[in-house]
Structures are given as C-alpha cells and as structure tokens.
Amino acid sequence: MTFRSGDSRNALVWAEENGKIEAGEKVAGANDGARNTHTETFTLNVLEAGAGVLTFTGPQYNSPQLDKFDFVLKEVTGQPVESDKSDLEALVQYANDQKDVEGYDMLIPAVKVPFETALEEAEEMLNDATVTQEEVNAMYAELLHWVHMLSFLGGDNTELKNKVDMAEQEILPNIGNYTAETAEAFIKALEAANKVLEDENAFPEEIEKAKTDLQNAIDNLVEDEKKADMSRLQALVEQAREIMAGDVSGYVEESVATLESSLAMGELVLTLPDSQQSFVDMVADALEAAITGLTQKEPEKTPADKSELIAVYEP
C-alpha cells in the first residue's frame, strides 16, 4: 500500500467477520507531517475459501492516509484444499473394472497407453488433498475421454501376414511375367498391406480391407504374352533379300519361286509383333529351307559334231 502519515504510530488493523482471513495489524506511520508518500507491504493469510467481508480499521493512534491499496493473490501449494472427488472416484472404479473386460488386451496401443496413464494419474489425485476442484474436474474429463475410446479394439492380422508372405515369396519374384498394369496394381496393394502390418494401431476394418485388396490384386494378375524373338527370322529375311536382289537365273525356277514366297511370308511376320514364338520359328524354318533348297540349273548339253564319224563309215 502507498500512504501518507504524520504520526509514526499510525497503523492498520484488519479482520474478517467469519474468521476466513487471519486478523492482523500493520504499523504504517511517519513523522514528516504527511508531506511524503511511503510504501509498505504485508501478507493476509486466507484460512478458508469463499465469500467474506474484510474490514480495515485504525487502532488507538488512527490509521494513515491511504493513497493506494493493491491486493495480489497468491496460491499456496501443499495446503489441504476442500474439493469434491466423488465423481472422479466413481469413474476410477469403472475404469479399473474395464481392464477385466474380455478383449481389453486387444486395445490398440494408441488408446490403451494414454488410458492407463490417465487412470494412474486419477488414482494419485484421489489421494492428494492439495488438488483444487478445477484440477479434479479436468482429470475427470481426461479420464472420461479415454474411457469412451475403449471400444477401439485392434484386429488380428495373422491372415493378412500369411497372405503377404505368400505374395512376396511366390509372386513378387516372378512379377515380370505379368502385364505392367496388373503388376503395378499388385505391388501397390502389397505395399499397402505391409504398412497395415507395421501399424500396431490398425483397426480390424483396415486389416480386412488390406487383405481383400491384396487378394483382388493377385486374382487380377494377367500373364504377359511375351513378344516373340524375331532376330533369327530377321537375319534370314535379309539373307533372302540379298539372294533375290542378285541374278537368280541360274537357279531352278521352282526353287526360286519357293524362296520368293517364303521371303514374302517372313517379311509379313516381321510386321506382326504379337505373333507367337512357335509361328515365327515355323516361318523362319521354312525360309531357311527355301534358301538352302535353291537348286542350280544343269548346264545345257551341246549336240556332238558327228560329221567326221559319218565320213569314216561312208561306203
């Protein structure tokens, strides 16, 4: 407080009508004719919470002239406080009962851990005589929140794990045997399933969805009909073209015609990338046989000159 005083014996006396504040007295005097201001601080000890009337009076030598009077409230910890814990106590009992309910062990960690932490803190609060009603109410709300979350049970991921193991061991190493589109869908489903397996807080619905999606991706895999190897046919076609571009007049016409038709078929097949390997091989074999089957014509025989022979035998 800030005051002026002309008597060093001036003081303040206070009391609360119901004794909620400890009564006391504070000397606040000076001998300067009340010309200067002075400051004094003192403590009021509150004994009981609640509304009341605090009265200040002057003692025998009167009180000083008050210029300013400030109250600063300070909470003293460690002192007994009257608070109603009945609702919290009942909730703690209910929460403890839930730990014995079937399926409690299946709670996801994201719920089980904070629930047990809140329950432990609430039990400690029940034994703490210094907590305020506001703290009790806040603890009640926190524990009640996690009690409401007790329905979030985790799921059994055994079947999902078995399916993932099968997919990784039997399908993934041969994924190149399937079309790019269906293989990509399978890989995405497998990755999603592994993420669910890694999530200890996965719900049953998430586990079931991952298992179904992976199975669908497996069922939808389509084998890729690999493109035939046409390198041998290509080489034979080029060889046949060289032959046909040269002088083939020395070959039997029928063998040239066979080569010509086989070459035409080979060139056609080269334009058909979806041809089966067996068909490509058959056309290549036919073309190779036509090349090796080219037959040269026999040289024409010149009639012998028999004039001398006739002359010798003429009669």
Per-residue pLDDT reduced to its tens digit, 192-232:
999 999 998 888 889 999 999 999 999 999 887 777 888 99
- Give the C-alpha distances (Å, rounded to integers) separating 135 from 78, 156, 313: 14, 39, 152
CA dist., res. 236 & res. 221, Å (int): 37
User: Where does the pLDDT of residue 64 fall: very low under 50, low under 70, confident under 90, or very high at 90 and above?
Assistant: confident
Burial degree of 230 (CB within 10 A; 0-12, 13-18, 19+): buried
**Higher model confidence: residue 191 or residue 150?**
191
Report DSSP letters for 153-188, one per residue: B----HHHHHHHHHIIIIIGGGGGGB-HHHHHHHHH
CATH number of 86-151: 1.20.1270
- Domain residue ranges in the chain: 1-74, 86-151, 158-219, 231-292
Is 55 a residue whose pLDDT tops 80?
yes
- Give the pLDDT confidence of 148-187 residue by residue, as tens digits: 888 777 778 889 999 999 999 989 888 877 888 999 999 9
Of 6, 89, 15, 20, the residue nearest 51 (C-alpha):
20
Looking at domain 158-219, its CATH architecture is Up-down Bundle (1.20)
Taking the whole predicted model, whether its pTM rises above 0.85 is answered as no
